[in-house]
Amino acid sequence: MFLYNQDTKIIPVKHLQADLHNYYPNSFLFRYVDYQVATEYIDPYSYNIIVRRLDGGLGSTDHLQIMAFTNSHQEVIALEPWSDSVDNIRKINTIFRIEPDQANQYTLRTPLSTDYMSYIPYYTDISRKDFNLMFHTDVVVLPTSMFAIGCDSHHRLFVYHEGHGSNSKEFNNIRAPCQHILRVINSDRSITVPLYFVISSTDGYIENTYCQPSRTIPKIVSEYECQGLYLPPPCADDEFLVFHQNRYILTQSAHVGLPYTILIPDRHYFFHNLNHSFRSFHQGVAWDTKIPKLVFAAQDRDTKYNFLDKEMRSLDIAPRKYFKQVIAPKHRDIIEYSDQWLDRTTMIYFKYILDIDGAASTWDATAWKLNSGSVIFKPRSSWSQWFYPFPRIGKADSEETDQPPLPQYLPNVHYIEILDDFSDLPQKYEWCESHPEECLQMIQRCQTLFQEIYAYHNVIEYTKSILTTISDMCNVSNSSVPSSPLPYISKIHQYIDKVIYINLDKRTDRRIEFETQAEIYGISYERFSAIPHSFGIVGCTMSHRDIYRLAKKQGYRNILVFEDDFEFLVTPAEFEAEIIQLFESNIEFDVCMLAYNLMASDTCQSPHLLRVFEAQTASAYIVNMHYYDVLIQLYDSVIPLLESTRQHWLYANDQAWKALQGMNCWYCTKTRIGKQRDGFSDNAQEYVSYQC
């Protein structure tokens, strides 16, 4: 229930700011509960504090504190939890006279849908070849610091990575931003899918190289040039790297002027609970009461590559260390610096705060400084964040730019820009000391910018804008590709009557994994709902038996049976060729195994097949019609023994059939088509790493 309609105009109180205070100051909570705080003028001595829940929830269980302050007065207001409404309204009576701000009337933001924040993406890791086939692109082998992520027409998510994919330590660096991006894709169906993007997981792109604003010449990275690399390969000063046909790279921080780079919200924005931890971070401390010095405290996380000045680059030292060792000792009268740890909550009591880039942009340190109530000093920077002035997607410096739907963080508007050798720092400090009004205006602009760029609604709108651009690029690239539910229809269906895969209803993860592969390999399939059983291997054996009964009833000439944890080891073309060779060989077979743990075998008249005398696993095999009854009778006889004794090493389906292999015509493809995927097994009730 809304207490304020969506079109209700609210008149705020002039020169009065109000926001959350001391709200979950600890990081890494990933708390996405979102509030808008506003004031509403009532009369000269009273006003309303309005708190609106924005993340789709109704009411709140939080004990909120709101800081309301002017230049001369501050007050912390406690709000109790509430229910039944998105809005909480508290009337405040004042002892000082207030005025309405007629010029800045506004409406409250519209909350998100209730399911928006609940969406959690599920990723399927696939090979580069499969990724390129699915998304009709040409991504080269990427360094392990980079990923290709795609969303297909069914909103299923796929990851290509030269490592452990979505389970890798590198992916943890972008997991939170990716979850946000994919939430936006999932919630806004105006964003056309399929789409994909290539993203860098490092703090900045490109690291360990100097920023060169003249990078206008594309360098096409060869297919295997990045094999075994963590970072992208080096290139000339006037070149930028191209890893795929659409060129763009998503990154949390980028070199200034680097074309085809899309800046996304950084992971620390999400680590710090949408930067809610820094709302009212200034604590209402009046600027003219602060210590008149420039304070700096930061760890040495930067590198020599952050310098822009050519003479500074020749010193082989990082900017932070240079400042600490050379600049700070020279100007102790105006600089506060210590080798000891200095908490950021202490630094807000200084008039001026220095911000020097780390591994890339300073992310959360930029956020709290914007809302510190102090003047920010910042050297000219090699790095940009998503709200910095920056050539937009696919543009070089000389080209027209597309501006983002957000205000921008501007030098000498929001911060005092100094040279990156710090030589003009004393002069800039003196200017600030003699221009307090201008400094106060700069602080106010910073606080306004903080509220605008970090408001989650605005972050969502920005993300929609970049996703629309990415989607348009993908659609242009795919415009010549005929749309089809499958990349192609495999020729195996000219030889095989029916493909059936077995899948427990609860294992939706395996269902997605198998059906994704089937789509890539052009396989038309039928899903068999696996028979659940308290002893999983019994249910598995029953499921295989009932598939033969089904095939017999339907009159299928043959069937190809997969278990849902099957994973291909060959390409779609190689798989198709193996099946064709099997049937064109004119060898009469009862069963042909495509995945196996081979224990005894021999050659045969076909160079592509082996005669099987003993083999196990039943994750992929072909059965001919005349053999259905043989397997049905076998399993009818062993299932009671399996249930009563639980001796799976004797009576499980892929153990029991060993008695038939030496007597009948069992074969396997010499090339192993696939294996069982590593993962949690419902049969074994534990994580299993298969080798077959």
Per-residue pLDDT averaged across 159-170, rounded?
Answer: 94
* Per-residue pLDDT, 680: 53
Best CA proximity match to 53, nearest among 125, 16, 108: 108
The pTM of the full predicted model, rounded to 2 decimals, is 0.72
- In the structure, what pLDDT confidence band is assigned to residue 68 with cuts at 50, 70 and 90? very high
**65-74, 175-184, 584-593: which range is least confident on average?**
65-74
Structure confidence by residue, pLDDT tens digits, 10-61: 999 999 999 999 887 666 666 778 999 999 999 999 999 999 999 888 888 8
Q: Which residues pair with 527 in a beta bridge?
A: 501
Look at residue 525 and give its three-state secondary structure. Answer: coil
Q: Is the per-residue pLDDT at 484 higher than 70? A: no
With vertex at residue 117, the alpha carbon angle to CA 111 and CA 121, rounded to the nearest 5 degrees, is: 150
For domain 282-381+401-453, the CATH architecture is 3-Layer(aba) Sandwich (3.40)
Residue 345's φ and ψ, nearest 5 degrees, are: -65, -20
Q: Which CATH number does 491-688 carry?
A: 3.90.550
| Contact between residue 158 and residue 131 where contact means Cβ atoms under 8 Å apart | yes
DSSP helix, strand, coil percent of the chain (3-state; round to 5): 30, 25, 45
Look at residue 426 and give its three-state secondary structure. Answer: helix
Residue 349 contacts by C-beta under 8 Å, 6 or more apart in sequence?
A: 285, 290, 291
Structure confidence by residue, pLDDT tens digits, 139-157: 999 999 999 999 998 888 9
- In the structure, what pLDDT confidence band is assigned to residue 278 with cuts at 50, 70 and 90? very high
Q: Where are the alpha helices (DSSP H) in 336-414?
A: 344-347, 364-370
Neighbours of 4 (CB within 10 A): 18
- In the structure, what pLDDT confidence band is assigned to residue 681 with cuts at 50, 70 and 90? low
With vertex at residue 143, the alpha carbon angle to CA 138 and CA 145, rounded to the nearest 5 degrees, is: 120
Look at residue 314 and give its three-state secondary structure. Answer: coil
Look at residue 612 and give its three-state secondary structure. Answer: strand
Each domain of the chain, given as residue ranges in start order, spans 17-104, 123-269, 282-381+401-453, 491-688
| Contact between residue 22 and residue 65 where contact means Cβ atoms under 8 Å apart | yes
Alpha-carbon span 504 to 539, nearest angstrom: 10
- In the structure, what pLDDT confidence band is assigned to residue 3 with cuts at 50, 70 and 90? confident
Bin 310: left if φ > 0, else alpha if -120 < ψ < 50, else beta: alpha
* Per-residue pLDDT, 451: 93
Structure confidence by residue, pLDDT tens digits, 439-471: 999 999 999 999 999 999 999 999 999 999 899
* Per-residue pLDDT, 57: 80
Alpha-carbon span 146 to 128, nearest angstrom: 12
Per-residue pLDDT averaged across 320-347, rounded?
Answer: 92
User: Which DSSP symbol is given to 165?
Assistant: G
